Amino acid sequence: MAGKLAYRNLFHDRLSLIVTLTGIVFSVVLVAVQCGLYIGSERMIAAMLDQSKGDLWVAPLGTKSFDDPSLLIGHEKYSVLSTKGVAGSEELVVGFAAWRKPKGGMTAVLIVGSDHEDGTLKPWNLVAGNLGDLDAPLSVAVDDTYFKDLGVENNGETAEINGMRVKIAAVTHAIRSFTTLPYVFTSLNLARTLLDAGSNQSSYTLVRLEPGADIETVRADLMARLQDREILTQQEFRNRSVDYWLFQTGAGSALIAGAALGMIVGVVIVAQTLYSSTKDHLNEFATLRALGASAGYIHKVILFQAMMSAVVGYGIGMVLSMLVIWASKDTTLFIIMTPGLALLLFALTIGMCAIAAVSAIFKVTRIDPAGVFSR
């Protein structure tokens, strides 16, 4: 009976229901988008690291993230390969360059040079061309998300990087950059030429260990051999990159603050609506108390009412959130919805409405059953 009474009480006043659902839906969509942006941002920041398969990274001293490149001294690869416990190494050349658009204008890009045959970091999500096409001289791969920024429209077009004419030989999809600078994939040798690096220089050296090798022992040996460089584990480099862009720059704090604001607004709107609805029905609740209904029964009605609002509002909010995510899939915004985030949003919505119901419950607690006989 408590559920039936809550249902009738909730849907009797359609205007109050609409206001309640608006608050919940607004909160769900805002939190979903903000949290989805946070997850998407983390994946964008770590995309290159997640695609690279290795155990240790040799990086220039003071490197803040993968997208904060500088050149190593040189010859690190040979020191790495001569270290006991190392199975192989991979050199990466990363750096900023100027891209001259075919029809005029300039933009900054981030060059990523790697071994496309034997290396692990290579363009993925190819929608035009293939990795073999990048073996041709002066060939690069770009992402179709940044076609407008690069001033191109199709595979096969030409442009200039640092004054050298290059040809787009392959196109990827949805490889976005957190810094909004387009990634331009090239061969290792072409990247060195474009960035004016030495033939033995690289930005990073990725180290793969032999099976059973102790990572800390190998790391200590490399630190002794390669002074004035940093030796980071894969997870350390990933955490450092994410921490730098999301927290040291304040971007992550802004996303978290936006999500918190959405929850606060939702709680306030739902609490106000439930409180007003309860206040409008005080006489009815007093009548129930006079007929012998316990305070617990009245509280249960209010909580049922809040939970029904939560479920309906969550459903509508998730539909709208998925529409927003779908609309942004071909833009530079990268919003991710995961099953874990969906469950978290449901739990937050239930909790938000339960907290909002407390204000109404406090009002009902002070009802005097005898008041119904004085009307």
d(CA 62, CA 313): 48
Confidence of residue 217 (pLDDT cuts 50, 70, 90): very high
Q: Which two tokens stand for residue 273?
A: 């609506």
Cβ neighbors of 81 (< 8 A, separation 6 or more) are 88, 89
Residue 22: predicted pLDDT:
81
Task: Provide mean pLDDT across the span 332-356.
Answer: 84
What is the share, in percent, of the chain residues with pLDDT greater than 70? 85
Task: Provide mean pLDDT across the span 123-134.
Answer: 90
Which neighbouring-strand residues pair with 86?
209
CB 64 within 8 A of CB 244: yes
Task: Provide mean pLDDT across the span 129-143.
Answer: 90
Residue 145's nearest CA partner among 345, 330, 300 is: 330
Residue type, 262: G
Task: Provide mean pLDDT across the span 46-50.
Answer: 90
Check pLDDT > 80 for residue 199. Answer: yes
Please give the radius of gyration of the chain, using alpha carbons only, rounded to the nearest integer.
29
User: Between residues 210 and 373, which one has the greater pLDDT?
Assistant: 210
DSSP state of 137: T
Check pLDDT > 60 for residue 339. Answer: yes
d(CA 56, CA 89): 9
75-79, 124-128, 139-143, 236-240: range with lowest mean pLDDT: 75-79
pTM for the full predicted model? 0.78
The size of the chain, in residues, is 375
Residue 277: predicted pLDDT:
64
Task: Provide mean pLDDT across the span 332-349.
Answer: 86
Residue type, 184: V
Which neighbouring-strand residues pair with 166?
159
Check pLDDT > 80 for residue 373. Answer: no
Residue 231: predicted pLDDT:
93
Confidence of residue 8 (pLDDT cuts 50, 70, 90): low
Confidence of residue 129 (pLDDT cuts 50, 70, 90): confident
d(CA 320, CA 342): 13
Residue 111: predicted pLDDT:
95
d(CA 324, CA 312): 19
Confidence of residue 258 (pLDDT cuts 50, 70, 90): confident
Residue 3: predicted pLDDT:
62
**Residues 268-323 pLDDT 10s:** 776 676 666 666 666 666 676 666 666 677 777 777 777 888 888 889 999 999 99
Q: Which two tokens stand for residue 34?
A: 């903000």
Residue 44, classed as helix, strand or coil, is helix
Confidence of residue 360 (pLDDT cuts 50, 70, 90): low
Check pLDDT > 60 for residue 139. Answer: yes
Residue 331's nearest CA partner among 18, 37, 7, 82 is: 37
CB 184 within 8 A of CB 142: yes
d(CA 154, CA 171): 8
Residue 193, classed as helix, strand or coil, is helix
Residue 222: predicted pLDDT:
92
DSSP state of 153: -
Residue 352's nearest CA partner among 260, 240, 289, 255 is: 260
38-47, 162-171, 207-216: range with lowest mean pLDDT: 38-47
Check pLDDT > 80 for residue 148. Answer: yes
CB 27 within 8 A of CB 260: no
**Residues 92-121 pLDDT 10s:** 999 999 999 988 899 999 999 998 888 888
Check pLDDT > 90 for residue 35. Answer: no
Residue 367: predicted pLDDT:
60
What is the share, in percent, of the chain residues with pLDDT greater than 90? 34
Which neighbouring-strand residues pair with 92?
204
Which position has the token pair 């190998």? 218
Which neighbouring-strand residues pair with 107?
99
- Stretch (H or E) spanning 190: helix 188-194
Confidence of residue 253 (pLDDT cuts 50, 70, 90): confident
198-212, 226-240, 248-262: range with lowest mean pLDDT: 248-262
Strand ranges, E, within the chain = 56-60, 86-100, 106-114, 126-128, 139-143, 158-161, 164-172, 183-187, 204-209, 229-233
Q: DSSP states of 85-101 as a string?
A: TEEEEEEEEEEEEEEEP
Confidence of residue 53 (pLDDT cuts 50, 70, 90): confident
CB 367 within 8 A of CB 289: yes
Residue 329, Cβ density class (10 Å: 0-12 exposed, 13-18 middle, ≥19 buried): exposed
Measured at the CA of 113, the angle between CA 237 and CA 130, to 5 degrees, comes to 115
Q: How many C-beta atoms lie closer than 10 Å to residue 86's C-beta?
A: 20
Residue 159: predicted pLDDT:
92
